[in-house]
A and B are shown apart, each in its own frame.
Chain A
Amino acid sequence: MSTKENLPQASNPLGIDGLEFVEYATSQPQAFGALLQKLGFAAVARHRSREVMLYRQGAMNLIVNAHEAAESAPTLSAFALRVRDAAYAHHHALELGAWEMPTRASAMELNIPGIHGVADTLIYFVDRYRDFSIYDVDFVPLAATDPRPPAIAGLHWFGVVQSILGDRTADWLDFYQNLFGFSVLPRGQYFGVLPKGTLLESPCHKFYLQLVEPPPGAEDVRWDEGLVRVGLGAADVPAAVKALQARGMVFVDRGTVQPSEKGALTQPYLGGVTFELVHSHLKP
């Protein structure tokens, strides 16, 4: 007998199914929006009551939250996991020792459950991503705008880079393995042009987290824990670089991080925000 039920496997207790959106906080949403457009994102909807915009590119949703944003430099403030049952996922995480997120922090008026992630960031759980979207309630579509702008060069979410303090890798592995079922990729298995830290694969095999401790000799550098940047996957990185350069994006072209088949890194924009392209086998 076969069943079509989407039951989570033991190694994926929450039924994680990719990233639903990432969220940035910034007090200069216009400038950041212009940058996102160069990167291939298009504004598709505006929040009903707050200074929050939804950008989209292919299957990627990106929220820019200027509501009560303190910092001008855009900072990655949250990511949302697609899960089978958001209420269950939330309850499960709290039972295992996650911290409930502060209620006022959410960009959404819909009650999207979430927990504290690293530093001041949040991790949301979203289960309405198939027939009904979470954006239908809180956002008003922009008029005369394609609600589903296609991706440039097949770009898709590849992962999120998280900085951590020295000797904290094992702590954060405990966090992501036990709460969500992430697994560690063998040492030496890296993607992109920044091969360092520890790479974790989501239990759904649809995205990665990269944990990066301060490099040796960085004792004098101010190094905080937090979400650093997102990685965008591309089947053909040079083609994606070319397409984005044509739109005005500038990539670091010196040293070890110059664009290659493996990946590319944009220059820092607006006080420090960067984006990474990564050669990806993942499907857009």
Chain B
Amino acid sequence: MNLDHFGMDTITLAGPLEAKLRAVRAAGFTQIMLSAQDIVGHPGGEAAAIAAVQKSGLRVTGFQVLRDFEGLDGHLHAYKVDVAKAMLEMCRALRSRILLVCSSASAHATGDTGRLVKDLQKLAMLAVPLDIRIAYEALSWGRHVHEYTQAWDIVQSAGRENLGLALDSFHMLANRTPLDTLQEIEPKKIFIVQLSDFLWQEVRSPEDRIETARHSRVFPGEGVHSEKVIELARQLDEMGYRGDYSFEVFNDDYRQLPLPVVAERARRSVKWITGRVARRSLPARRQA
């Protein structure tokens, strides 16, 4: 496990896309997670944003985020399919192999598992010709799917090669989800792991979780749950997960600090994690 396995996320940084790309690159990172806003909000338009990403030399960890996709009916479903297609096309143009999809928080969404499975199968099918993998993430305030274990059940039922999981430490910590069932997940079905911590012990209500998740996350090593983040990373490493780790750190303070200062904090966090997790070169412990 080294710096090459970690990426920053543009949502952590303030300023224009080019400045973010430069800061991340200057801190020694080789990859970056992009948001749709980076692309559509670029003053030069989408093409300029895509060109800037390609010129940066950074690998695109993934593209985010498709929200409230699954479980809708009729015109709502059709509307979301259109949104998904546009997101997939941007994802492809950015040469991102991963589209991040959050479990639905919509009050209009059904919790019928069969329907959720079917909708995610459809999304995965849309992604096949574009060579994109769908990483499904359980939001801790998701309406029906809010634990990674539920997301895993759905991914398993769907049984599609390009549909897997995004694990986000924040949601697991916020919901106090035990990590013991992590071992049941096939490592190759974990497409991306997002790491962050936060500064308070408990976030009890969904409102608290949303508020904290969107404004007050910090890098691992900076919060009060960091040992749990390490435990997660260590378990994943031992299971044989060899994919990317991305810092999903939404933080209002970081968005008013100079970019190199924030990127340096991210780099320090990588060092903090890798110093505590077994080296990747060691063989993975076999699971019974």
Q: Enumerate chain A interface residues (CB-CB to B < 8 A).
A: 95-99, 116-119, 165, 168, 170-175, 178-179, 225
**Contacts A/B (CB < 8 Å), 9 sampled:** A96-B125, A97-B126, A168-B131, A170-B161, A172-B128, A174-B125, A174-B128, A175-B129, A178-B121
Query: Is there an interface contact between B123 and A171, defined as CB atoms closer than 8 Å?
Result: no
Residue from B85, B123, B124, B131 within 8 A of A174 (CB atoms)? B124
Known pairs A97-B121, A171-B131 / 15 extra A-B pairs, C-beta < 8 Å: A95-B122, A96-B122, A97-B122, A97-B124, A97-B128, A98-B126, A99-B129, A117-B129, A118-B129, A171-B162, A174-B124, A174-B128, A174-B160, A175-B128, A178-B121
Residue from B121, B124, B125, B161 within 8 A of A98 (CB atoms)? B125
Q: Which residue of B lies closest to A116 (CB)?
A: B129
Q: Enumerate chain B interface residues (CB-CB to A < 8 A).
A: 85, 121-126, 128-129, 131, 160-162
Q: Which residue of A lies closest to B123 (CB)?
A: A97
Residue from B85, B121, B122, B161 within 8 A of A171 (CB atoms)? B161
Q: How far is the CB of A168 from chain B (nearest CB, A)?
A: 7
Which A residues are CB-close (under 8 A) to B162?
171, 174
Q: How far is the CB of A122 from chain B (nearest CB, A)?
A: 11
Which B residues are CB-close (under 8 A) to A225?
131
Query: Is there an interface contact between A99 and B85, defined as CB atoms closer than 8 Å?
Result: yes
In the A-B complex, list the 3 residue pairs whose CB atoms are closest, starting with the nearest. A97-B125, A170-B161, A97-B122
A235, B231: Cα distance in complex, Å:
63
Query: Is there an interface contact between B126 and A99, defined as CB atoms closer than 8 Å?
Result: yes
Q: Which residue of B lies closest to A168 (CB)?
A: B131
Q: Which residue of A lies closest to B89 (CB)?
A: A99
Q: Which residue of A lies closest to B88 (CB)?
A: A99
Which B residues are CB-close (under 8 A) to A175?
125, 128-129
A96, B161: Cα distance in complex, Å:
15
Which A residues are CB-close (under 8 A) to B122?
95-97
Query: Is there an interface contact between B128 and A96, defined as CB atoms closer than 8 Å?
Result: no
A173, B123: Cα distance in complex, Å:
16
Which B residues are CB-close (under 8 A) to A117?
129
A113, B76: Cα distance in complex, Å:
24
A258, B277: Cα distance in complex, Å:
55
A173, B159: Cα distance in complex, Å:
12
Q: How far is the CB of A107 from chain B (nearest CB, A)?
A: 21
Q: How far is the CB of A129 from chain B (nearest CB, A)?
A: 26
Q: How far is the CB of B70 from chain A (nearest CB, A)?
A: 13
A225, B85: Cα distance in complex, Å:
20
Q: How far is the CB of B84 from chain A (nearest CB, A)?
A: 9
A173, B129: Cα distance in complex, Å:
12
A95, B115: Cα distance in complex, Å:
13
Between A117, A168, A171, A172, the greatest number of chain B beta carbons within 10 A of the residue's beta carbon is seen for A171
Which A residues are CB-close (under 8 A) to B161?
170-171, 173-174
Query: Is there an interface contact between B125 and A179, defined as CB atoms closer than 8 Å?
Result: yes
Which B residues are CB-close (under 8 A) to A97?
121-126, 128
A172, B129: Cα distance in complex, Å:
8
